[in-house]
């Protein structure tokens, strides 16, 4: 009986300590979050104040309130170039397509060159050369080849994504642990089984870690393509706003783009967790 | 039966010179024999093992397994490496059953066989874990199960336990012996630790210091089995053997040390 109460006391104490620790963790969380919000309030608040009191010229610098109103207007009343969702869908579709095509080509090429020394020696310098080229200069050529529609934007996005994924896939295939390869061979793996059980899973972590960056680059390629020549898309919208000296429109386009990109990064992160479970299931 | 007949291994250095790692190795390891190879650092112990595993081909001479010349990978062997055997993206049971699965055994069958081996190496309950969730000693157990499930005629061990702490190591050595005694596999055990070599083996081969290492001594270890690795070290016969082999090995260690300092 006596020992039982002592045990209970002990358990109470443990619970109390746990609660205290949880409180501490929550406090730190709240502190960090409120600091983060404070930064946003200070930056956007001072921007708003400076603009509304005309310390800075709203014509050139716009203001957070005006940008929000512009986005609202675009959403509810449509843009001067038709409804907003059409532009959004076009840009999103182009980005997704160039991302997928770029990743598939990059993985295939990376795997081929990574697992074949002769190919790597022959094509290595050419790939380096192409990669050194600032891809933006390809936009005019793609517009001449593929016209003002989607294909030229997708082509530009692909040239950006391809190289990132390619280099990662190549490295991933190259960096496979020699011992693991030898081990699988001793256990009886043929070439196909080696690829399936060792090389691809090992390269997958490299490839997946490149997906974050490459999605961003797909978006960059597409938007730049839209700037240079197009009839639809968010980049086109920003270019139009710029042409009309509508600073607020340019900022509004930027905000929509960054929201899109954030959503995509989040999606890729989810995908990553699904595919490299062995890295994330830590207990 | 493993036969190395006049086996030499040479590399061409980037400078164009020829570097001889092994020179004229003649070694016959019988069926079910536990044979350790010791020698100073860089003497070509691992290269010897690579030749037997078929990872590398000898530049001169040949390697024969069961009387036929080895070409390509050695289908009769499995190897416990110094680093990792377990594939980090596979769970314990997938790692252990891999050898059978590669052979085309059905999944359920391979799994039930794997469960037996997992239990045998004392990892019951960890089937669904990934290697990074296990300790170093447990990962070595996975490696052992992974190798032995295919019932290899030759078990190669390349400083397999050198990364473990002293206690885990003694434990693993004892378990290796008890599992090995149930099989009829020949073992080639590479180590730089002479005590470990004597405690485990039927036979200890001493290599000379590299380059161009060759066999310096071949000692029969006729200590009684079953052995307890951590206690056999106090056996007078063990100490006698240790002294005898160490006299041989010491000179080579000094030569290798001098080489390292001159380089």
Q: Do A276 and B78 make contact, defined as CB atoms within 8 angstroms?
A: no
Contact B70, B7 (CB under 8 A): no
Whether B68 and B99 share a structural domain: no
Cα nearest neighbour of A275 on chain B: B89
Q: Do residues B207 and B110 both lie within one domain?
A: no
Residues of the domain holding B146: 88-151
For residue A244, give the DSSP letter: T
DSSP A49: H
CA distance A95 to B117: 50
Task: Please count the helices (runs of H) and the strands (runs of E) in chain A.
Answer: 13, 0
Residue of A nearest to B89 (CA): A278
Residue B219 near residue B244 (C-beta atoms within 8 A): yes
B81 within some domain: no
Lowest mean pLDDT among A121-125, B154-158, B225-229: B225-229
Using CA atoms, how far residue A277 sits from A30, A204, B84, B88, B109, in Å, is: 30, 11, 19, 11, 25
Question: Do the beta carbons of residue B211 and residue B19 sit within 8 Å?
Answer: yes
Please state, in angstroms and rounded to a whole number, the distance separating the CA atoms of residues B141 and B125: 13
Give chain A's radius of gyration (CA, Å).
Answer: 26
Q: Give residue B255's pLDDT.
A: 85
Question: What CATH code is carried by the domain that includes residue B225?
Answer: 3.40.50.300
Q: Which residues of B touch A280 (CB under 8 A)?
A: none
For residue B100, the chain A residue with the least C-alpha distance is A187
**Tens of pLDDT along chain A (283 residues)?**
565 666 677 788 888 889 999 999 999 999 999 999 999 999 999 999 998 888 888 888 888 888 888 888 888 888 778 888 888 888 989 999 999 999 999 999 999 998 888 998 999 899 889 888 888 888 889 989 998 888 999 999 999 999 999 999 999 898 888 889 999 999 988 989 999 899 988 888 888 878 878 888 899 999 999 988 888 888 888 888 888 888 888 998 999 998 888 888 888 778 777 776 666 444 3
Domain for residue B17, yes or no?
yes
Is residue B19 in some structural domain?
yes
Q: Is residue B82 assigned to a domain?
A: no
Positive or negative: CA dihedral A210, A184, B147, B173: negative
B128 and B15 housed in the same domain: no
Give the residue from B131, B151, B171 where a domain finishes.
B151
B38 & B18 share domain: yes
Write down which residue in B136, B151, B166 finishes a domain: B151
From B127, B151, B175, the end of a domain falls on B151
Whether residue B182 sits in one domain with residue B140: no
Q: Is residue B45 part of a domain?
A: yes
Q: Using CB atoms, pick whichever of A179, A187, A282 lies closest to residue B98.
A: A187
Q: Which of B75, B76, B17, B79 is nearest to B48 (CA)?
A: B79
Are A182 and B103 a contacting pair at CB < 8 A? Answer: no
B141 and B166 assigned to the same domain: no
Nearest CA in chain B to A276: B89
Chain A hits for B74, Cβ within 8 Å: 186
Task: For chain B, say whether A274 makes contact (Cβ under 8 Å).
Answer: no
The chain B residues in contact with chain A (CB within 8 A) are: 53, 55, 73-75, 77-79, 81, 83-85, 87-91, 98-99, 102-103, 130, 132-133, 146, 150
Q: Is the peptide bond before A119 cis (omega within 30 degrees of 0)?
A: no
* Residues B160 and B145 occupy one common structural domain: no
In the prediction, which pLDDT does A184 show?
A: 93
Assign B187 to helix, strand or coil.
strand
Residues B240 and B114 in one domain: no
**Around Cβ B81, how many Cβ atoms within 10 Å?**
23
| CB-CB contact of B79 with A185 (8 Å) | no
In tens, the pLDDT along B18-44 reads 888 888 889 999 888 999 999 888 788
Residue A215, both tokens: 């999605």
Q: How far apart are CA A151 and CA A144, in angstroms?
A: 11
pLDDT at B78: 92
Q: Considering only alpha carbons, which residue of chain B is nearest residue A189?
A: B102
Please name the member of B89, B91, B150 whose beta carbon is closest to the beta carbon of A187. B150
Which residues in chain A have Cβ-Cβ distances shorter than 8 Å to B73? 185-186
pLDDT at position B245, please? 92
- B216 in a domain, yes or no? yes
pLDDT tens-digit series, residues B207-221: 888 788 888 889 898
The answer to the question of residue B102 being in a domain is yes
Q: How many CB pairs under 8 A join A and B?
A: 62
Q: Contact B171/B137 with Cβ under 8 angstroms?
A: yes
Q: Return the closest-CA partner of residue B139 out of B167, B111, B112, B168.
A: B168
CB spacing of B81 vs A186 below 8 angstroms: no
When scoring A175, A176, A186 by the number of chain B Cβ atoms within 10 A, the one with the most, hence best to mutate, is A186
Q: Do A183 and B85 touch (CB under 8 A)?
A: yes
The edge-to-edge listing of strands for the beta sheet with B18-29 is B18-29, B2-12, B60-65, B68-69
Q: In this structure, are B164 and B255 located in the same domain?
A: yes
Q: What letter would DSSP give residue B183?
A: S
Q: Do residues B37 and B93 make contact, with C-beta atoms less than 8 angstroms apart?
A: no
CA distance linking residue B116 with residue B130, whole number of Å: 18
A194 Cβ under 8 Å from any chain B Cβ: no
Same domain? For B137 and B163 the reply is: no
Cβ distance B216 to B206 under 8 Å?
yes
First vs last C-alpha separation in chain A: 37
Instruction: Please judge whether A281 and B133 are an interchain contact, meaning their C-beta atoms are less than 8 angstroms apart.
Output: yes
CB B143, CB B172: distance < 8 Å: no
Model confidence band, residue B142 (pLDDT cutoffs 50, 70, 90): very high
Judge whether B209 lies within some domain: yes
**What pLDDT does A281 receive?**
44
**What's A196's DSSP letter?**
I
Answer yes or no: do B211 and B225 share one domain: yes
Residues B126 and B213 in one domain: no
Q: Report the number of distinct structural domains present in chain B.
A: 2
With CB atoms and an 8 Å threshold, state whether A188 touches B99: yes
Q: What is the pLDDT of residues B59-91, one digit of tens each?
A: 998 998 988 888 888 889 999 998 888 998 899
Per-residue pLDDT, A278: 62
Q: Return all residues near A21 (Cβ < 8 A) that are at least 6 apart.
A: none
């Amino acid at each position: 009986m006596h020992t039982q109460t002592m045990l209970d006391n002990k358990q109470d104490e443990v619970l109390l300590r746990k609660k205290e620790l949880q409180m501490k963790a929550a406090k730190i969380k709240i502190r960090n979050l409120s600091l983060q919000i404070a930064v946003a309030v200070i930056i956007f608040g001072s921007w708003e104040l400076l603009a509304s009191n005309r310390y800075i010229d709203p014509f050139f610098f716009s203001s957070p309130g005006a940008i929000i109103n512009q986005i609202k207007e675009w959403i509810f009343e449509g843009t001067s170039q038709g409804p907003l969702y059409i532009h959004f869908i076009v840009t999103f579709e182009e980005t997704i397509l160039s991302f997928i095509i770029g990743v598939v080509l990059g993985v295939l090429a990376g795997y081929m060159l990574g697992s074949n020394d002769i190919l790597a020696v022959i094509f290595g310098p050419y790939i380096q050369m192409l990669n050194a080229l600032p891809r933006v200069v390809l936009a005019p050529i793609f517009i001449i080849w593929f016209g003002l529609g989607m294909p030229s934007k997708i082509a530009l996005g692909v040239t950006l994504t391809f190289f990132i994924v390619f280099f990662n896939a190549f490295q991933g295939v190259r960096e496979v642990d020699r011992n693991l390869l030898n081990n699988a061979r001793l256990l009886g793996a043929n070439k196909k089984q080696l690829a399936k059980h060792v090389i691809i899973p090992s390269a997958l972590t490299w490839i997946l870690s490149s997906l974050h960056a490459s999605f961003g680059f797909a978006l960059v390629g597409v938007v730049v393509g839209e700037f240079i020549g197009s009839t639809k898309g968010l980049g086109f919208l920003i270019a139009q706003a710029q042409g009309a000296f509508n600073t607020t429109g340019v900022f509004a386009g930027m905000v929509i783009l960054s929201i899109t990109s954030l959503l995509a990064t989040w999606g890729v992160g989810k995908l990553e967790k699904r595919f490299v479970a062995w890295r994330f299931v830590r207990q | 039966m493993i036969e190395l007949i006049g086996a030499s291994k040479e590399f061409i250095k980037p400078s164009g010179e020829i570097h001889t790692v092994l020179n004229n190795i003649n070694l016959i390891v019988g069926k079910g024999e536990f044979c350790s190879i010791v020698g100073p650092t860089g003497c070509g112990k691992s290269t010897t093992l690579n030749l037997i595993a078929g990872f590398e081909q000898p530049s001169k001479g040949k390697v024969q397994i069961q009387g036929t010349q080895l070409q390509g990978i050695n289908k009769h062997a499995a190897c416990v490496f110094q680093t990792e055997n377990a594939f980090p993206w596979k769970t314990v049971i997938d790692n252990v059953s891999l050898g059978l699965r590669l052979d085309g055994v059905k999944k359920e069958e391979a799994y039930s066989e794997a469960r037996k081996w997992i239990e045998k190496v004392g990892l019951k309950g960890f089937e669904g874990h990934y290697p990074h969730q296990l300790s170093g000693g447990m990962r070595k157990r996975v490696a052992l199960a992974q190798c032995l499930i295919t019932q290899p005629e030759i078990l190669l061990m390349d400083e397999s336990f050198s990364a473990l702490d002293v206690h885990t190591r003694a434990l693993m050595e004892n378990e290796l012996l008890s599992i090995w005694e149930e099989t009829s596999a020949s073992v080639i055990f590479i180590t730089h630790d002479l005590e470990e070599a004597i405690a485990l083996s039927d036979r200890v081969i001493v290599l000379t210091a590299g380059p161009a290492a060759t066999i310096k001594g071949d000692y029969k270890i006729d200590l009684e089995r079953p052995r307890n690795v951590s206690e056999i070290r106090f056996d007078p016969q063990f100490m006698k053997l240790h002294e005898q082999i160490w006299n041989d090995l010491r000179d080579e260690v000094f030569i290798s040390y001098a080489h390292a300092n001159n380089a």
